[in-house]
Each structure stands twice: as structure tokens, then as C-alpha cells.
Amino acid sequence: MIDHSLLRPDLTLDEVRAGLTTAREYRTASVCVRPSDVGLAITELAGSEVAVGTVVGFPHGSSSTATKVFETGELVALGAQEIDMVIDIGRLRSGDIAFVQDEIAAVVRAARGRAVKVIFENCYLTDRQKTAGYEAAEKAGAAYVKTSTGFADGGATAADIALMRRTVSAAVKVKAAGGVRTLDALLALHELGATRFGATATATILDDLASRLANS
């Protein structure tokens, strides 16, 4: 259920390689790397079952739609298997739901069948804005709705995960990101409906799981 996150802007190439090794060793669902690291991740994870994901319009979501579409196409051509895109937060806060839906749909088309996870940065939104955004994402063909980038003022909360799961149909999955650093936190959000987790504390979480299983 974990997308091992390697998105910090200060990561060196050696640190990215170490993170990719962690993902391979712990057999995470995917890695989520910076766009410039997609080629490296494809090479380093060749032969593993770890999917390579990356981000579009990250972290603020304020790139033009054309830029997000171009970026998505380029990253898919490089081999990215999953795309985590940030919505235009200001447009959603302004009530321009049609723009948000059309932009997500454009990225979904550019992804050519790869899973698109739509990041909402929930800490900036009211519940009404969140609900409208999640509904727009489903109509646009998104595979996931996602809580946050992990780089804003807040991350995944129980209330938001519950609201996401209530709003979208079973066809759309929920990803929690931002502040999921322990096994107990992950399991609590999973109970509320999240099935993917963006995490940097992957080793800590999965070592705890292995210890509990060994002692059960």
C-alpha cells in the first residue's frame, strides 16, 4: 500500500538511489520520484515489481494546463507508470469546478491509461470545496484522490480520508500523504478507506509490521 516518496528538493542522486534500493527491498507498491529522476528510477528498479510514479504540477499546482499535459506526456514516454498531479488550488477555491475537471481530464488523457492520482492539498480547502473537487476528479477519470503533497501546512487527516471515501465511488481509490509516519497511523487511515500511502518512513513502518507479525 506504500508509495515510497523521494520528492524532497534537496535529495542527492546517491540519496535517491538509496531510496530506490529501500523500495525494492521492501517491495513497495511504487516509488514517487521527482520528474528529473524518472529515468534513473526506471533503470534502478528494472526487474522489480515496484512501479515508478512521479509528480506533475508539483507542489503548487499553478502550472498551466498545457504545461501539465506536456509534462505528463514526457514522463509517460520516459516510462512513468503512475502520475500524481496537483490541481490548480486557486481555481478550486474560486469555485471554477469546470476548469478543475477539464484540467484533470486533460492530464488523464495525456497519461494514456496510467493511473492518475489527483492531489487536492486539503488543508487549504473547505469541506464543500473538497467535495466538489473529488466529484470533479471522478468525472474526469482519475484513479485516485489524494490528500496532499506533504509540502504544505497540513497532511492526511482521518476526517479528510473519511470524506474522500464517502464522496467518490468504489471506482476511485483514496491515497493518504503527508504525516503518515507510523504503522498505527497507516492502519487507522486504512480502516477509513485509504489504500495507498505516500511515505518517507517506509522502513520504520514496515519494520514495525514485521516485528509485530514475528511476535504474534
Active-site residue 146, yes or no?
yes
Element (H, E) at 198: strand 196-199
Active-site residue 84, yes or no?
yes
Which residues contact residue 103 at a Cβ distance below 8 angstroms, ignoring those fewer than 6 apart?
Answer: 65, 68, 87, 88, 91
Which residues contact residue 31 at a Cβ distance below 8 angstroms, ignoring those fewer than 6 apart?
Answer: 3, 4, 5, 6, 19, 20, 23, 41, 45, 50, 51, 52, 53
In angstroms, rounded to a whole number, what is the distance separating the alpha carbons of residues 100 and 215?
Answer: 48
Catalytic residue among 3, 37, 68, 84: 84
Catalytic residue among 68, 130, 146, 173: 146
Element (H, E) at 55: strand 51-56
Residues serving a catalytic function are 84, 146, 175
